[in-house]
Structure 1
Amino acid sequence: MDIENNPRNLAVTVLSKVKTGAYSNLQLNNVINDHTLIPADVNLLTTIVYGVVQHRLTLDFYLAPFLKNPDKVEPWVRELLYTALFQELYLDRIPKRAIFNETIEIAKQRGHEGIRRFVTGVLHQMDRTGLPDVATIKDPIERLVVTYSVPKWFINALIDQRGEEKALSILSKINQPANQSIRVNTVELSLDDAVRRLTEEGFEVRESIVSGTGLVVSGQPANQSTLFKNGQVTIQDESAMLPAESMQLDDQMWVLDACAAPGGKTTQIATYLSPEKGGKVTALDIHPHKIKLINQNAKRLHVQDQIEAVQLDARKVDEKFDDETFDRILVDAPCSGLGLIRRKPEIRYEKSLSDSQHLQKVQLDILNGVAPKLKTDGILVYSTCTILDEENKDVYTEFLRQNSNFRSVKVKTDKNLKLDRKTDYLEIFPDDFDSDGFFISAFQKVK
C-alpha cells in the first residue's frame, strides 16, 4: 500500500490540521497539489474530508461508547476512526472489508503495533455490537445536535428566529453537497455562448434559477474549463451574485465596494460599467495582500480598466473621499458566514452567538462610515452571507433608526426572487434554491 498517496491517509492528515484551526478547502488544495492523485482518489479524499467535518458531532456520538479512555487517544487516531465510520455510514459503494483493511493498515504505518491493535479492536467491536441509536437521546435539541452535527446555540437560534419547520428544513440541507456554480463574464460572452461551449467541453450545464448570469455545472471542476482559464467565467455562488444585481446600476456610475476582497462582487459590478463613459468601481480592503488579489481577479476577468483597488478600512473613508461622492455603494459586510456552511463546514464549530453580536457593531460602523459618501437619491446595498437576524434584519433596522435620511427600498433581482415577500430586504436560505444563505437589503438616500 502506497500510504504516501493514499487518499484515506491524506484525509487523516487534512482532518488533523482542520481540527487545530486550518481551513478545510485550503488544506485540501495544498494536499492535492503536493501529491500525485488520480481523479477518483481526489474525489474520495475530498468526500471523506468534507464528510467527516460535516458529520463530526454525529460520528463522535457513534464512536464514544467504544473509547474507554478517550483523552488518551491521539488526535490523528480519532480522525482515522472518524474516516472509517464516515465511509461505512455514508458511502454505500465501498465494501466494509476494504474500509477496515485500509484503516488498519494506515494505523500500522502511521503509528505502531499498539495503535494498530487498538484501531482493529475498535472497528471489530463496533461491527459486532452495532452503533448507538440517536433516537435514544431524550433531549430533543440534543438529538438535533447529533443528527445534524451543529452546535446547540445555532439550532436554538434557528428555531427562535425561523420556527421549527423552517429550521429543520435548513438543517436537512446544510450537510448536502453544494452546487458548483459559475458566473458568466458578460463583458466577454453571452450566457447562451457559455452554455454551448461548456457543453462542448463535457460539462453538464443548467442555467441558474437564482441569478441572471449564473450557471450550475457538474462533471468536472469548473476551474479546468477553457472559459475559466480565459477569464470568461468565474466561480461564484448563485446567491453571491444577487447583491450586484440589486444595485440598479448603469454604465456611467461611480460605485464603492466597501468590503471588496477577493473581488468576486467587484468584478461583477465592473461588468455593468463603461470606463469610456466614466463608470468605475472603487474597491476597498484593509489588507495589502487582498488588494493584490482584487487586482489579479480584475485582470483575469478583463475588467481592470473599470476597477480601482484601494487599501483602506471602510470605517475610515473620511480619510480618502468627500461626502456625496458615489452613485452606488455596496457593503458586503464581514460576517459569521453561516450561510456558507455547506462550502465551509468547519465554521459551524468555530462560531458562537456572541460572534454575531460583536459583528453587528462592526457592520453598523461600516454602514455609518460610508453612508455620507453616497449621493442623494443613490442606493446603498447591505449584504451578508449569513442567516441570523443579529447580522441581518437587526442591522437593517438599526441602520434605518440611526439614519433618517435613508429609506428602505425593495430589493429586486434579475430572476424576481420571492416577489411576494412582505419585506423590502431579501433573505435566501440554503433550502430555498439550493444555494448559499444570503441577506440583501437596499437603502436610498433622501434629502
Structure 2
Amino acid sequence: MSTVGNSPRWLAVTALAKIKNGAYSNLQLNQLINDHEMDRRDINLLTNMVYGVIQHRLTLEYWLTPFVRHPGKLDPWVRELLLSALYQWQYLDKIPQRAVFNETIEIAKVKGHPGIRRFVTGVLHQMDRSGLPKFDAIQDADERLSVTYSMPKWLIEELRRQLGADKMVSILASLNQPAKQSLRVNPAVSTVEDVTNALVNAGLTVEASAVSPLGLVASDGQAINTEAMRYGMFTVQDESAQLVVPAMDLRPGDHVLDACAAPGGKTTQIAAALDPEQGGEVVALDIHDKKVKLISQNAARLHVADRVAATALDARKVATEFKPASFDRILVDAPCSGIGLIRRKPEIRYEKQLSDSLNLQKIQLAILTACAPTLKKGGIMTYSTCTILQQENQDVIDQFLASHPDFELLTTPTANHLKADRKTRTLTIYPDDYLSDGFFIACLRKK
C-alpha cells in the first residue's frame, strides 16, 4: 500500500469516521498516535485536523451540501475525507490548496475504487470553480449563527436568554479557538519554579497561568511525554478546574469527602493539601469500579496515595454509608452536561440537548442532599460543574438552599481575585473570560 496510508490526513479520516460513529475523539487520537511512528509535525497536523473537522462540522457540511446530490448515501469515510479537505482548504492557511486537493484525491484512489476517486476529484474541482456558499444567504438569524460557529441552535438560544446576545457571540467565537495545554504543579513533590525549569529544559515554552497560582500553560511540545510528568511533578488539568479545591479552604488535618471523584484530578489536589500525620484524608467515591482504580493510580503517580481512600459508591447513597457529621469538607464536583468543555471536547456540542441539563439537575440536587447530613457544623461543602448553564449551576444551589435552611452561601474565593467585582457569591468562569474551560463553583457552609 502507498505511504499515503500512514499520512496524518489518512489517519484523520479514519479517526473521524470512528468518532462520527460514537468513539471518543481524545481516545481515538491517543490510540492512533501510539500505534504509528509520527514526528511532532505530523502529530500536530493529525490532532488539528481531527479536532478542527469536529469543531467546524456544521459549517463544513453547509459548504459541502450543494456539491453532493445524495449526502446520506455517501460512505462515511468519503464524507469525512471531503469535510477534512474543506477544513484544510478554508482554515489551514499554511497548506497550499493544490497540496490539499492532490492528497485528498490520492487517499480516495488508494482507499476506494476508481468511481470514488472520480467523484471526489469532481466535487473538489466544482467547489473550486463555483466557490463556497456564503453564510449571509441563510435567512434565519439563529440558523446563520449555528452554521457560522457550528453550534446547535438550542445552545445559541439558551446562552442568549441567560447572558445576552453579545456575551453569547463572544462565548461561541472563543469555543472554536484551540485549547491550551494546561498543567497543575503538584505541591506534594515540586514547585512552580522547578516544573517550569524542567519543562523549559525539555524544550517546551512555559507561561504562568493568570487563573491559578499552581497553573502553567505549556506549548511547543507535549508535556505529558516529559520526565517531569513521569515523576509526578505535575498533572494535566485545566486552569479553571484548578480553582475548585482552593475554594474549599482546606486544613492539613481535615477529613474530606470527594463525592464524584474520577479520574482523580481534584482528589489528588485535595490530597496534596492534607497531612496524613495530622489525620488528613480524602475519601474519593465513584460509581464505577474501573474509575475507582483510575483514582488510585493517579494518587500513586502523584505521591499522595497515603491520604486517599478510593471507594466505589453512588454519591446519592452517601448518607446511608457514612455517619452524620463525618466530614470537615465535602466536594461535589457533580456530573454535568460539560458545555464548558466544548473547546477541549468539541463533539459535546452535537451530543447534548437542553433536556439533558434538566435531567442532570435532579441528579446534582440528589447528590448535594445526600452529602449534606455527613458534613460537620461549620464545615464547607463545595459544589462545582464544568458547564455554564444556569439550570445546572445557580438553579441547583437556589433549590438546595430553599430546602436546607441550615446552610448558607459563602463568596467563592480565588487567590488571583478573579471577577472580584461580580454581583454573585458563586463564581462562573465563561470560556471567553480567560480562554480556559467554562466552570461554576459555589461554597456552602453548614451553620
TM-score w.r.t. the length of structure 1 is 0.99
Distance 1:219 1:377 in 2: 46
State yes or no: 1:39 paired with 2:40: yes
Per-residue CA distance 1:157-212 (angstroms, 9 max, x = gap): 00000000000110110000011010000111121222222222221111111111
Percent of aligned pairs with the same residue? 59
State the alpha-carbon separation in 2 of the partners of residues 52 and 414 from structure 1. Answer: 37
Amino acid at match of 2:50: V
SS at match of 2:147: helix
2-structure distance, mates of 1:74, 1:194: 47
- Give the letter aligned to residue 38 of structure 2: L
Q: Report the counterpart of residue 242 of structure 1 in structure 2.
A: 243
Partner of residue 263, structure 2: 262
* CA-to-aligned-CA distance 1:190-237 (integer Å, 9 cap, x gap): 212222222222211111111111111111111012211100100000
User: Following the alignment from structure 1 to structure 2, what is the Cα–Cα distance between the partners of residues 292 and 38?
Assistant: 32
CA separation in 1, counterparts of 2:416 and 2:50?
35
Q: Which aligned pairs between 1:6-405 and structure 2 lie closer than 5 A?
A: 6-405=7-406
DSSP 3-state at the match of 1:220: coil
The CA distance in 2 between the partners of 1:49 and 1:232, in whole Å, is 30
Give the residue type in structure 1 aligned to 2:264. Answer: G
| Secondary structure, counterpart of 2:248 in structure 1 | coil
The CA distance in 1 between the partners of 2:64 and 2:270, in whole Å, is: 49
C-alpha deviation, 1:286, in angstroms:
0.7
Q: State the alpha-carbon separation in 2 of the partners of residues 127 and 250 from structure 1.
A: 64
1:257 CA displacement: 0.2
Partners in 2 of 1:237 and 1:107 — Cα distance? 38
- The 2-side partners of 1:15 and 1:166 are apart by 31
For the residues of structure 2 that align with 1:338 and 1:402, how far apart are their CA atoms? 27
Secondary structure of 1:246's counterpart equals helix
SS in 2 for 1:142: helix
Aligned-pair Cα RMSD in Å: 0.8
AA in 2 matched with 1:237: D
CA distance in 1, matches of 2:400, 2:228: 41
Question: What is the SS of the residue equivalent to 2:155?
Answer: helix
**CA-CA distance at 1:71 after TM superposition:** 2.0
Deviates more, 1:33-42 or 1:237-246: 33-42
Moved over 2 A (4+): none
- Helix, strand or coil at the partner of 2:273: coil
What amino acid is aligned across from residue 227 of structure 2 in structure 1?
A: T
> Does the Cα contact within 8 Å between 2:211 and 2:434 map onto a contact in 1?
yes
- Structure 1: runs of 5 or more not aligned: none
Query: By how many angstroms is 1:305 displaced?
Result: 0.6
Partner Cα distance (2:29, 2:198) in 1: 29
Count the aligned residue pairs: 446
Q: Give the secondary structure class of the aligned counterpart of 1:193.
A: helix
Partner of 2:443: 442
In structure 2, C-alpha distance between the alignment counterparts of 1:402 and 1:161, rounded to whole Å? 24
Q: Deviations over 1:274-326 (max 9, x none)?
A: 00000010000010010100000000000001100011111111332100010
Q: CA deviation at 1:271?
A: 0.9
Residues 27-36 or 429-438, more deviating = 27-36
What per-residue deviation string (whole Å, max 9, x for no partner) do you get for residues 248-275 of structure 1?
0010100000000000000000111000
User: CA–CA distance in 2 between the matches of 1:18 and 1:200?
Assistant: 36
Normalising by structure 2, report the TM-score. 0.99
1:410 counterpart residue number = 411
* Maintained 8 Å contact 2:15/2:29: yes
